[in-house]
Chains A and B, each alone.
Chain A
Amino acid sequence: MSGALAMRVRNMRLSGRIGLALVLFWLVLAVGGPALAPHPVGAFIDQEVFSGPGRTFWLGSDYLGRDVLSRVLWGSRYTVFLALGAALLAVLGGTSLALFSAIRGGWTDEILARAMDTLNSMPSKIFALVLVAAFGSSLTLLLLIAAFIYIPGNYRIARALAINLVAMDFVQVARARGEGAFHIARYEVLPNMIHPLLADTGLRFVFVVLLLSGLSFLGLGVQPPYADLGSLVRENISGLPMAAPAIIVPALAIASLTVGANLLIDALKPGGKA
């Protein structure tokens, strides 16, 4: 397995390898970053605000005089795990429903599609606002809410894929063999959707990162003193005119993380070229 993985990496295009490197970098930071943080995440230690990079504060300080490096290290953990978790959950949920829908067909399909349309038609940020206001914003709830909001989008894509696949001969073969719906969904249909689903996961990942930053725009999101990367950008927005590292660094972090994830996923596509 690991040998095959190594092979894949070796055969990957340059952009794919860059993507992999970026994703690995952020994953490692997400896991180990907080341990490396030179200062407590909530400590108000700089007399100045929005100071530039220096000896004590490698990446300067934020709008309250906190250490940007430490906050970014913590923020990457929240962003990576929340966004990754929510994206995976959304895809898991959406795809499961889509498979159920496509294999069952008929009324089940119709009703599910309607319900998903209903959810999909609501503006995501406002919907999130309502849900957060109604249920609260603990980490688990944020994760679930973000996942819930992106389930319909994934359902739409997964259902379209699954319906095409269900019509394929090899699914007919499995049906003719007498296989149950679960086997067909899990072993016949799902493996053939993996790549488009991965691409969709990458996209949902970006969406969740943006949703979190959008929520911070509304004053919701990860509980202080912690903040996800998007919230870091948001809370330091007044540092933008002076190009403070406090805003530039998290913005670059988000960009490199999402671009990396998508480059990697693009490179994992079979054929690789398209």
Chain B
Amino acid sequence: MTVELAPPPATGPSDASAAAVEVRGLSITVAQPDGTRRAIVENISFAVPRGEVLALIGESGSGKTTIALALMGFSRFGATIAADCLRVGDMDIAAMGQSALRGVRGSRIAYIAQSAAAAFNPSRTILSQVIEPLLVHGLAGREEARARAVALFRSLALPSPETIGDRYPHQVSGGQLQRLMAAMALITGPELVILDEPTTALDVTTQVEVLRAFKAAIAESGATAVYVSHDLAVVTQVSEHIVVLQNGRMVEQGDSARILTAPQSEYTRTLLAAARPAIRPTADAALDKVLTVDSIHAGYGRIVRGMPATPILADVGFTVRRGSTLGVIGESGSGKSTLARVIAGLLPAASGEVLLEGQPLPRAMAQRSREQLRRIQLVFQNADTALNPAQTVRDIIARPLAFYHGLKGAAAHARVDELLDLIRLPRALADRRSTELSGGQKQRVNLARALAAEPDVLLCDEVTSALDTVVGAAILDLIDELRRELGIATVFISHDISTVRAFCDEILVLYAGRAVERCPKAAFDGHSHHPYTRLLIDSVPDMDPTWLATRAAAAGPALAVSAIAPELCRFLPRCPVAIGGLCDSNPPPLHVDDGRAILCHRAGGPGDASR
């Protein structure tokens, strides 16, 4: 699988010594309990010309972050860095002592971490953290530092740049925080910026804005950048060069365009394929409606006349047929997970009904019979937290067998083995604890536990979000196969429209707790959509280096709206095509045709609602 490469890159700068960053023969090793050393990164060589961006791409465990951190002379868990050459500008990083490195970090080499929410200190103001590099390196006084920070905030298109720094990290949105971290990195005018998956944790619509801001800011500062990511499409937008990594080794490197168009290694091709999910054929849906959700209102707090104090979902309804898949899409906070919880009965709906094969289910889980509970199974988003770390895989899978089917002893043992086969996990893993499994394996166990109940309805809540693309694609294949084989009706919740589009028979778009559009897969392409759906579609980066540049900056809202009445269109404050006097005064009508339903004033007229 691994392709041996000739050390000097074929493409890239002709004169490596002119490069801003040069890495040759980099290896990073950790000590094993038995005293030997194991290489987690081996024989890495690349160079980045001044002012350009190089991407390190690979899945988790590929060593991409480890390599990036090594550029700052930093290693986690006491790993040892060794290299023939590890140079940034005129600095020989490998030869520098700790105090010299400290003087360089944050001043000449800056780092932007994956999760700004975790990397910002929650108990200090943003400004104090943003200007800290200037202060600790003695590069500016407090007043000057503050002025520089405000200027950077402004150039990063942050709202109220004068005062945003006085807030605490939890008081700003994820996208803003990520940009604030960019400000923290760029404030000292570093020669090299390392960006470690800076947009992975963001919603697609936010990601676009943040990417654009990053790209502009880096270009403006003239810094060289190393961009770490698992997402080829994103990388395509920002980097001139790509290094593909697998298991700590280089698989391929070259110009971005070349890697995308003419990948040389098998692994790169796999990555590319996973990034462009193939559209799967629609299932031969049976006619019987297994799950019907009818006009659900749900939320938290005391319920008054069918409306909760803090409403989350309003008037959501759909049906799912046996063997078919409904995709539910929306950004974080849209109510996707709440919908799953309402169907499972974990959160009783305030009003509306959930029907299983036409039979209304009690709203609260506690009132449902064990049989009713068995027939609807919820697969939680995060397998790390959904699997009890104290139990073995066998314990986890055997429990629903015992609980719903009374299966014990040898019979249960055999059935667990069958289920492991079904989800393609080696039986040998049965006696491991879930903490010893990889992310993909955990998600399979999570799935197997739901399947053990032999459900009619499977609710999958973001089951691939935390996984690498390739691993996630395999899980998707598995779910797709199972629902066909077992005839399970699936509700597939995701924030990723390309996955949903490829995988589901019908798509439901949630915005702020309302279903703004429902659309069968067959009718998805070439039809008009709700403006929000359109925004989602447009925010998914193409594998095209020019996509970010060519995609017009998202049009601002057409109407200046401060607060909207609950019955009005909730997308109004962001809608670029809102119609004054209509959208801001009348509730949006529901247009139904061709199996599609759109909640929008524009949808009634001819043409695309979003254009």
Contact = CB atoms under 8 A, between A and B. Distances in A.
B18 interface: no
Nearest to A270: B435
B387 interface: yes
Interface stretch (A126-134, A171-179, A205-213, A225-233): A171-179
Nearest to B383: A169
A192 interface: yes
B388 interface: yes
Nearest to B461: A169
A194 B370 CA distance: 30
Nearest to B435: A270
A176 B365 contact: yes
B361 to A, nearest CB: 13
List 5 tightest A-B contacts by C-beta distance, closest first. A191-B390, A169-B386, A169-B385, A178-B373, A170-B388
Contact of A169 (B345, B382, B399): B382
B403 A173 contact: no
A135 B399 CA distance: 46
Contact of A178 (B370, B381, B391): B370
B378 A176 contact: yes
In the complex, which of the residues B388, B389, B404 has the most CB atoms of chain A within 10 Å of its own CB atom? B388
Contacts of B453: 177
A203 to B, nearest CB: 22
B344 interface: yes
A87 B385 CA distance: 31
B368 interface: yes
A3 to B, nearest CB: 13
B442 to A, nearest CB: 11
A170 to B, nearest CB: 4
Contacts of B391: 187, 191
A192 B400 CA distance: 20
Nearest to B346: A176
A170 B344 contact: no
A176 B370 contact: no
B532 interface: no
B511 interface: no
A175 B386 CA distance: 12
Sort chain A's interface into a size bin. Answer: 10 to 19
A13 to B, nearest CB: 11
A160 interface: no
B380 interface: yes
A170 B382 CA distance: 10
Contacts of B381: 169
Given A169-B382, A176-B345, A192-B389, 5 more contacts: A175-B365, A177-B404, A178-B370, A179-B403, A187-B391
B373 A173 contact: no
A194 B345 CA distance: 31
A20 to B, nearest CB: 19
Interface in B344-395: 344-346, 365, 368, 370, 373, 378, 380-382, 385-391
Interface string B432-460: 00000000000000000100010000000
Contacts, number: 49
B400 A170 contact: no
Contacts of A168: 385
Tell me the dominant secondary structure on chain A's binding face.
Answer: helix
A188 interface: yes
B380 A172 contact: yes
B378 to A, nearest CB: 5
Nearest to A11: B33
Contacts of B370: 178
Given A169-B380, A191-B390, A192-B390, A176 B373 contact: yes
A176 B386 contact: no
Interface of B: 33, 344-346, 365, 368, 370, 373, 378, 380-382, 385-391, 399-400, 403-404, 449, 453
Interface of A: 11, 168-170, 172-173, 175-179, 187-188, 191-192, 194
B114 to A, nearest CB: 22
30 contacts: A11-B33, A168-B385, A169-B380, A169-B382, A169-B386, A170-B386, A170-B387, A170-B388, A172-B380, A172-B386, A173-B380, A173-B449, A175-B365, A176-B344, A176-B378, A177-B399, A177-B400, A177-B403, A177-B404, A178-B365, A178-B370, A178-B373, A179-B403, A187-B388, A187-B391, A188-B388, A191-B388, A192-B389, A192-B390, A194-B390
Contacts of A169: 380-382, 385-386
Contacts of B344: 176
A170 B389 CA distance: 9
A187 B398 CA distance: 13
B339 to A, nearest CB: 14
A172 B380 CA distance: 9
Contacts of A179: 403
A176 B387 CA distance: 14
B368 A173 contact: no
A178 B388 CA distance: 16
A102 to B, nearest CB: 16
Contacts of B400: 177
Contacts of B368: 178
Contacts of A191: 388, 390-391
A188 B404 CA distance: 17
A177 B373 contact: yes
A170 B388 CA distance: 6
Contacts of A175: 346, 365
Nearest to B376: A176
B403 A178 contact: yes
A187 B389 CA distance: 11
A177 to B, nearest CB: 6
Nearest to A178: B373
Contacts of B346: 172, 175-176
Contacts of B373: 176-178
Contacts of B378: 173, 176
In the complex, which of the residues A172, A173, A175, A194 has the most CB atoms of chain B within 10 Å of its own CB atom? A173
Contacts of B33: 11
A191 B434 CA distance: 14
A176 B450 CA distance: 11
Contacts of B345: 176
Contacts of A172: 346, 380, 386
A194 B390 CA distance: 9
Nearest to A167: B385
A170 B385 contact: yes
Contacts of A192: 388-390
Contacts of B387: 170
Nearest to B380: A169
A194 B403 CA distance: 25
B436 to A, nearest CB: 11
A70 B44 CA distance: 69
A189 B346 CA distance: 18
Contacts of A173: 378, 380, 386, 449
Contacts of B365: 175-176, 178
Contacts of B404: 177
Contacts of A194: 390
A224 B28 CA distance: 66
B595 to A, nearest CB: 31
A172 B338 CA distance: 13
A179 B382 CA distance: 21
A178 B449 CA distance: 14
A65 to B, nearest CB: 54
B475 to A, nearest CB: 17
A180 to B, nearest CB: 10
A11 B365 CA distance: 45
A178 B366 CA distance: 7
B419 to A, nearest CB: 16
Contacts of B390: 191-192, 194
Nearest to A194: B390
A11 B453 CA distance: 39
A173 B448 CA distance: 13
Contacts of A188: 388
